[in-house]
Chain A
């Protein structure tokens, strides 16, 4: 099972991801309709992309009163069935990551659906702030980085 992994260190706030997403999902250029959003800290020169992290037991699914939010096991990813969604906004409130948002015009909630397993934003992120990898590789990479810090330290033979 792959997941969108974010390396905020590499994000420069070009927002190509926001443009790619809104175009791919909605056919227009509109960061306000993008599933992925960059949050900027202007007094620190820091840009942090934020997006649905694909929880195994998502809060959005748990709180949905009509079962509009559900896990599609084929990808797997959380989806919103727009027919069932009544636009109550409970999922938006429940998500700890701010990844569920509300489309005012349509009256339904939305979040990232990984473009059915081939997320469009990733290839447009030139400097690698976004990657799409199997979940286990995230822990693997972190282990390796921690071990490397030790391996490179001076007192080790």
Chain B
């Protein structure tokens, strides 16, 4: 079974009725939205009514591998998962790597659109075009690792790829995730809870089909050349050698390592959280990749002393080391390895897990969670065994504390009352990822505007730090002068954010990892456009590609507008806006309302969104060809 890359297929599955259907994607839609994340945004916009309960049966869950997933385009195997998010009530786009996206493409589909809710726990089995909804009663309650094993045994194929939830998704923990191909996850915003709310335990995929490019030779050669070029990229090599946690020593030395709930910027013993330490001390037993990726940033680790229990599992990576480690005041490597493994198995987002615990620790130290309420846990910063135990309780909603924290810091702080909301490092209901947005202004703007809440996985404007020559060159390309490659100023941040948002959206739609397009720059917009033409037979220019990126961002914005999103939602956690950085090279910095407003004003000018409401104007929608689809949002 050979499929043309330019002819995409949508598989619709309604879990309430058990019905499935297949649709083809029109060429003009593929051209305008690039596929993947882009088309998923349109599908969600069209099919989901505003005001839908994210944990109700009407929510729609879309799996969309990138348009290039399954080809040799370097690091193009990522999958976007889209739905309305339970943590925020807004648009939730999550992305994950692994091999399941490519497998789905080989199995005959480019999208799975899941609606409704199964009466009893089920799993979806997709095998070379055939679809089966199978009973998952025997899998419900089990961890992700055991579930994957049982499915492979049951279906008799070791090469099956899975997307699954653990007990946390079943328990609708608001930061539960979907584990992809065991070592990866679609993590943030409680996407796992949406899958759990549908009684969908897993999607198992096996595909032996083939994908054909319109101009195979052109595609293969360009993709191959980029792969070989990346072999000498410093950033890619650092991540290969030491994983993303290889950046920890640098961040710690620079005073850019959020510590103890963003109350400090560096932690003593931080090197014990680094990728270098994992290798030097013999924890590292393997380096693994996502599909078609030669960076291989993933780690596979084993504990040596098993002080918190034995660990033999994938990870941890940078954000995890920061959230479960430094943010909790912990540098005990084995504790972080164990906590990470629990997150993998229970199916919870390591970023939120760590930051929720950091909030709990600060709240406990400030006396707003009492000893009695902590139910036997000494929740002071630095208590590693308490941290490991707390991960389990949150995933399983165990006890008063576990259940409270499973709601995320926004809701937990509301319940606790007092000043606890001030140190809930969250906005819109999503915990912020570990980049200090007091010192990194481009990140700050990007975080405030991110449709799903304050994290880096929509912008990733690493270039603003000017760490490398390539980064400075990119800043010069965007702003006209490399002097703007400084993160602590607000000048030109809107231009930098717009470029990165557009590039990132295009990158996501095609399946590329941000490490190739916004952390290194080998997969740049010009090359993405060329590859798109070779792959699909649809020729597009670099400008058209970036415009498609802008179209995707605007479409996602319109979805949010329909859900009540306005300019006031483009905001940052309170601490980032009011509590200056206490020490380090960025001491005293803060991104207050005045600075944020200034950047937002300029951003809205650039993007043609109404400066008061933050709603895209009719002119802008017209320019992007979105007026017909999203006109209802513009007139809201």
Interface residues, chain A, CB within 8 Å of chain B?
12-16, 19-20, 22-23, 26-33, 42-47, 123-124, 126-127
Contact = CB atoms under 8 A, between A and B. Distances in A.
B286 A16 contact: no
B370 interface: no
Q: Which of A42, A123, A124 has the most CB of B within 10 A?
A: A42
A15 B227 contact: no
A27 B292 contact: no
Interface string B49-78: 000000000000000000000111010000
B287 A12 contact: yes
A90 B547 CA distance: 55
B421 interface: no
Nearest to B294: A126
Nearest to B285: A45
7 contacts: A12-B289, A13-B289, A14-B292, A30-B209, A30-B211, A33-B210, A124-B72
Contacts of A46: 286, 300
B217 to A, nearest CB: 9
Given A30-B106, A45-B300, A14 B210 contact: no
Nearest to A123: B228
Contacts of B220: 20, 23
Nearest to A126: B294
Given A16-B294, A26-B210, A33-B210, A45 B106 contact: no
Contact of B288 (A27, A29, A47): A47
Interface string B219-240: 0100010011011000000001
Given A14-B291, A45-B286, A29 B211 contact: yes
Interface in B209-263: 209-213, 216, 220, 224, 227-228, 230-231, 240
A23 B72 contact: yes
Contacts of A26: 210
B312 A43 contact: yes
A23 B209 CA distance: 13
Contacts of A42: 148, 182-183
A16 B210 contact: no
Contacts of A123: 224, 228
A42 B285 CA distance: 12
B224 A28 contact: no
B72 A29 contact: yes
DSSP majority for the B interface? mixed
Given A31-B106, A126-B227, A12 B296 contact: yes
Q: Which bracket fits the contact residues of B? A: 35 or more
Nearest to B287: A12
B16 interface: no
B2 interface: yes
Nearest to B209: A30
Given A43-B312, A45-B286, A47-B288, A16 B227 contact: yes
A22 B288 contact: no
Q: Which 6 A-B pairs have the closest CB atoms?
A: A45-B300, A45-B286, A30-B210, A12-B296, A32-B208, A28-B210
B143 to A, nearest CB: 13
Nearest to A120: B224
Contacts of A126: 227-228, 230-231, 294
A28 B106 contact: no
B210 A12 contact: no
B314 interface: yes
A124 B227 contact: yes
B2 A14 contact: no
B200 interface: no
Contacts of B227: 16, 124, 126
Q: Which of A12, A15, A47 has the most CB of B within 10 A?
A: A12
Q: Which of A23, A27, A43, A44 has the most CB of B within 10 A?
A: A23
Q: Which of B71, B288, B312 has the most CB of A within 10 A?
A: B288
Contacts of B148: 42
B205 interface: no
B11 interface: no
Contacts of B145: 43
A28 B2 contact: yes
Nearest to B301: A45
Contact of A23 (B182, B216, B289, B293): B216
Interface string B280-308: 00000111111111101011110000000
Nearest to B105: A29
Contacts of B314: 45
Contacts of A20: 72, 220, 224
Contacts of B228: 123-124, 126
Given A23-B216, A30-B211, A45 B72 contact: no
Contacts of B240: 127
Nearest to B74: A16
B72 A16 contact: yes
Given A19-B292, A20-B72, A20-B224, A30 B208 contact: yes
A46 B289 CA distance: 11
Nearest to B216: A27
Given A45-B285, A126-B227, 4 more contacts: A12-B296, A29-B211, A30-B208, A126-B228
Given A15-B291, A15-B292, A16-B294, A28 B212 contact: yes
Contacts of B71: 19, 29
Contacts of A12: 287-289, 294, 296, 298
Contacts of A124: 72, 224, 227-228
Contacts of B99: 13, 15
A28 B211 contact: yes
A33 B2 CA distance: 11
Contacts of B208: 30, 32
A14 B516 CA distance: 15
Contacts of B231: 126
A145 to B, nearest CB: 20
A28 B71 CA distance: 9
A29 B5 CA distance: 10
Contact of A32 (B106, B216, B288, B289): B106
A30 B231 CA distance: 24
Given A14-B289, A42-B182, A45-B314, A27 B106 contact: no
Nearest to A42: B182
A127 B294 contact: yes
A19 B70 CA distance: 8
Contacts of B291: 14-15
Contacts of A27: 212, 216
A44 B106 contact: no
Interface string B173-185: 0000000001100
A42 B71 CA distance: 22
A29 B72 CA distance: 8
B210 A22 contact: yes
